[in-house]
Amino acid sequence: MNAGKRQTGIVAAVAREGRVHVAELATRYGVTVETIRRDLGALDRAGALRKVHGGAVPVPVSASPETGVAERELAAAPAKAAIAAAALAALEPAKGMSILLDAGTTTAALARLLPTGLDLRVITDSLLIATLLAPREGISVRVLGGQVRGMTQAAVGPEALDALAHLRVDVTVLGANGISAEHGLSTPDPDEAAVKRAMARAGRRVLALADASKIGQEHLVSFADTADVDLLITNAPLPDPLASQLSITGTEVRIA
């Protein structure tokens, strides 16, 4: 088999299997591992796959640009509503439960569903979520301090991080701009990533909510590994690389 046909087969294998290994490819094609490494290097430079230690994985989905709250409220609204309903069922809200809610339109959809009459304690970095919940009887709302990002209406900075360092809540609910096997949960803004990272540390249990458009995307800053998440709720089956990674880390996945 010539190099062109072999490389075409390698690209197809990556798409089909999610991850391929140098030694296995060398055996499959009857060539040396050095030849396979050269193939992977050429394919990586051509953008056909991503070369990683010991093998290769698919090229990540291009990260979409960050958008404001108003625009994101309209995007994938039915999916976000379904994810929020599944998240509420997973939370099983109980009297006196403490919930740390990340900024985001999917987490805001969950906030709208939280029941009254249970003396829930909600802490959030989101002005949008705080505004939604403040008038509700039986839900106490605490807003993290700090500078507010206009793009997401989320509080960031030292004040928010200091407050989170002293918290331990029953459940943290995170949003993300992207989730991938290699980069974990990610977001474009470093300050917001720092707050999300601190939120993950503060929760006894960590839920992540992400519609299918976020799956496979990799943004500038990773704020959590897949191992940091106890439950991921999305609205479509996951691709093999991410599904395999979550299986290894023991992260439960629910499809809304």
Q: List all residues 6 or more positions away from 43 whose beta carbon is below 8 Å from its beta carbon.
A: 7, 10, 11, 49, 51, 56
pLDDT band at 213 (very low <50, low <70, confident <90, very high): confident
Other beta carbons within 10 angstroms of residue 161's beta carbon come to 17
Task: Report the alpha-carbon distance of residue 256 to residue 254 in Å, rounded.
Answer: 6
- Confidence class for position 75, pLDDT limits 50, 70, 90: low
Q: If you ran DSSP here, which 8-state letter would residue 146 be given?
A: S
pLDDT of 55 over the 50 cut: yes
Q: Quick one: tokens of 33?
A: 């591992």
Which range has highest mean pLDDT (35-49, 73-87, 153-167)?
Answer: 153-167
Give residue 64's pLDDT.
53
The residue among 151 and 100 whose pLDDT is bigger is 100
3-state secondary structure of 193: helix
What pLDDT, on the 0 to 100 scale, is given for residue 180? 92
Greatest mean pLDDT among 11-15, 140-144, 179-183 lies in 140-144
Beta bridge partners of residue 224, listed in sequence order: 185
pLDDT confidence bin for 11, thresholds 50/70/90? confident
Chain-wide mean pLDDT for the chain? Answer: 90
What's the mean pLDDT in 41-49? 84
Q: In Å, what is the CA distance from 105 to each residue of 80, 109, 215?
A: 8, 6, 16
pLDDT band at 158 (very low <50, low <70, confident <90, very high): very high
239 confidence band (pLDDT: 50, 70, 90): confident
Residue of 222, 209, 194 whose CA lies nearest to 63: 222
Contacts with 220 (C-beta within 8 Å, 6 or more apart), sequence order: 63, 186, 187, 188, 189, 190, 193
Whether 154 shows a pLDDT value over 50: the answer reads yes
Check if the beta carbon of residue 13 is closer than 8 Å to that of residue 5: no
**Mean predicted confidence (pLDDT) in 190-195:** 96
Position 67 scores a pLDDT of: 52
Give the model's pLDDT for residue 8.
Answer: 85
DSSP bridge pairs for 171 = 99, 205
Tens-place pLDDT, residues 200-212: 999 999 999 999 9
pLDDT category at 74 given cuts 50, 70, 90 is very low
Closest CA to 183 of 151, 142, 144, 216: 216
Instruction: Write out the H or E segment, with its range, that includes residue 55.
Output: strand 55-57
| Phi and psi, residue 230, nearest 5° | -85, -35
Given a cut of 90, is residue 88 above it in pLDDT?
yes
Higher local confidence (pLDDT), 45 or 249 = 249
CA atoms of 75 and 14, how far apart (whole Å): 31
CB 239 within 8 Å of CB 18: yes
Mean of pLDDT values over 92-106: 95
And the tokens for 5? Answer: 């046909």
Token reading at 230: 């106890």
pTM: 0.75
Q: What SS3 string covers 23-53? A: HHHHHHHCCCHHHHHHHHHHHHHCCCCEEEC
Task: In whole angstroms, give the CA distance from residue 247 to residue 243.
Answer: 6
